[in-house]
Each structure stands twice: as C-alpha cells, then as structure tokens.
Amino acid sequence: MSRSDPLDRAFRILDIVVCAGREMPLVDIVAACRLPQSTVFRLAAHLVDSGMLAFDETRKVYGPGPRCRRLGLFLRGRGTLRDIVDPVLADVARRFAETAFCVTGAGDGNRLLHHSVPEVGGRAFVHPGFEFPAHATAAGKVIRAFSGAPEPPGEDLPKKFQPATVTDQDALERVYGEIRKAGYALNDSEYDPGVFSMAAPVRVGPETVAALGIVGPRDRMFSAGDPHERARMLVAAADELAALLCL
C-alpha cells in the first residue's frame, strides 16, 4: 500500500462526513467507505478524540468537529463551494439548454446544492433545499449507486411516486448495478410525470461527493438528441467539476 493505510482511512472517513454535509450515524459511514464496522467505529472514535469529528452522544451521529472547522477558517479565502460549482452549472445549462443542478449528500436525504437555468426555454424543475428520494430521481440513484453500500436489503420501502417508479428491492439493485456500469443515471417520469432527468457522479478519489445533472420536459429532452449520448457529455462535465474540486 503506497499511502499510509491507517492515516488515509481516517481521512476517508473525514471526507465522507464533511462532504456529506449532514450528521451521519455509524452505519451510513460504513456504507459509504466500505470498511468493516469495527474499523470505522475505532477510526471515528480517534477522529472524535482529536477533535476532527464531533459525536452527538444522544443521537449517535457524527459531524465535523471543532478542529476541522478551525482548519476551514484558517484556509478560507479561496471562496466557497458555490464559487466553483456555479460556473460549471451555468456552462452545463447553456450547453444542454436545460436546467442544470448539483446535489450533495451521500445516502438518503440528498440536498440540492444549486441549480442554473439556461437562458432560453428553461423552467426550473428543482428548487433549493429540495430533497431527492434515492430511488426515483436521477441524482438520487447516482448517489446511491456510487456512494452507498450495495443497497442494504430491507430499506424503508421505496415509495411508488409514478407508474414508472421502480420499488422492487431486486429490481432496484439491478438498476444501481447498471448505473455503476454505465457511469450515469437516467430518469423517465419516475418522479414527476413527463419530466426527464439525467445525472452523473462527481467523484473525487474513491468518494462520490455529489451528483451533477440536468432536468427538463420529456419531449424536449428526447428531441434534443440521443439521451445516452448526452449523458456521456454530462459525465465528462462531472469529471471536470471533480477536477476543479481537487484544487
């Protein structure tokens, strides 16, 4: 192993908790980093000891710790996450002539980070603060497929928003597998009827930190060209965004 194993693992957990942007229980971290539970538990405890993570005894959730926040304070100045994401969204919105959006948050409770409406013909299908169900939107599926565990069975049963919504456990698992293989997710009227969306993972190292996507009316999306072709362009844009985040 070229990197220092213990240290790098600790940082992976730190990445996961901080990038998720929400407090996480142990299981969620385990799912995201795919390490043995006892290992994650111990590493997280050490991170809490050193102040990089904070642990809420009552709710049993981990969040960024004081030392971590101080680091953020001392190296702030380069601007915010939105300063980086916004130009990319604007560019994607313009090139695809559809609403572009970026979602963060591993596991459930994905939150819209920001979105950008193109100059012409656009209408926002997403709104700040919008929460993405993990199984019925392109962004939710992408994040689940790439950052979560291989779909723990017995999930709180997925809601069937529309006729096209996939809710069967096994079928969903297959869907996630296909998404992992393809590198992107499509969504045809599974959440809102007549609405088509696609999303690609923003991957930094081994972690998926966000999803980048576009959304628009089904008819217009199809008439704009082969969805899979456009999805591959979206993947390229997501990779560029990931590269920017590595600064």
Partner DNA sequence: GGACAGATTTCATAATCCGGAAGATAATTC
Partner DNA sequence: GAATTATCTTCCGGATTATGAAATCTGTCC
Find the shortest distance in angstroms from Cβ 16 to a copy of itself.
Answer: 11
Q: Candidates 36, 78, 153, 170: give the one binding a copy of itself (CB under 8 A).
A: 78
CA distance 54 to 160: 36
Are the C-beta atoms of residues 245 and 140 closer than 8 Å to each other? no
Name which position in 34, 50, 51, 60 contacts DNA (CB under 7 A): 60
Partner interacting with residue 225 (select from DNA, a copy of itself, none; CB below 5-8 Å by kind)? none
By CB under 8 A, residue 74 contacts a copy of itself: yes
Does position 66 bind a copy of itself by CB under 8 A? yes
61 contributes a contact to a copy of itself by CB under 8 A: no
| Stretch 134-193 residues interacting with DNA (CB under 7 A) | 152, 154
Stretch that binds a copy of itself, among 50-58, 117-125, 148-156, 181-189 (CB under 8 A): 50-58
The helix/strand/coil state of 231 is helix
Q: Which of 172, 131, 113, 129 is nearest to 148 (CA)?
A: 172
For the bound state, the minimum distance from the C-beta of residue 52 to a copy of itself, rounded and expressed in Å, comes to 6
Alpha-carbon torsion, ordered 45, 48, 52, 54, to 10 deg: 120
Residue 38 sits in the site that holds a copy of itself (CB under 8 A): no
- For residues 79 and 228, give the distance between their C-alpha atoms in angstroms, rounded to a whole number: 34
Among 4, 177, 193, 236, binds DNA (CB under 7 A): 4
Q: How many residues lie near DNA (CB under 7 A)?
A: 24
Q: Are strands 195-204 and 207-217 parallel, antiparallel or unpaired?
A: antiparallel
Q: Which does 71 bind (CB under 5 to 8 A by kind): DNA, a copy of itself, none?
A: a copy of itself
Task: Give me the least distance between CB of 97 and a copy of itself, in Å please.
Answer: 29
CA 106 – CA 41 distance, rounded (Å)? 18
179: left (phi over 0), alpha (psi -120 to 50) or beta: alpha
Residue 82 Cβ vs a copy of itself, minimum distance, rounded to whole Å: 9
DSSP 123: -
Token duo for residue 149 = 């565990």
> In sequence order, what DSSP letters do the residues of 211-225 get, joined into one string?
EEEEEEEHHHHHHTS
Collect all residues with Cβ–Cβ distance below 8 Å to 183 and sequence separation of at least 6: 200, 201, 232, 235
Q: How far is the CB of 234 from DNA (least distance, A)?
A: 32
Q: Which chain residues interact with DNA by CB under 7 A?
A: 1, 4-7, 9, 25-27, 30, 35-39, 41-43, 45-46, 57, 60, 152, 154
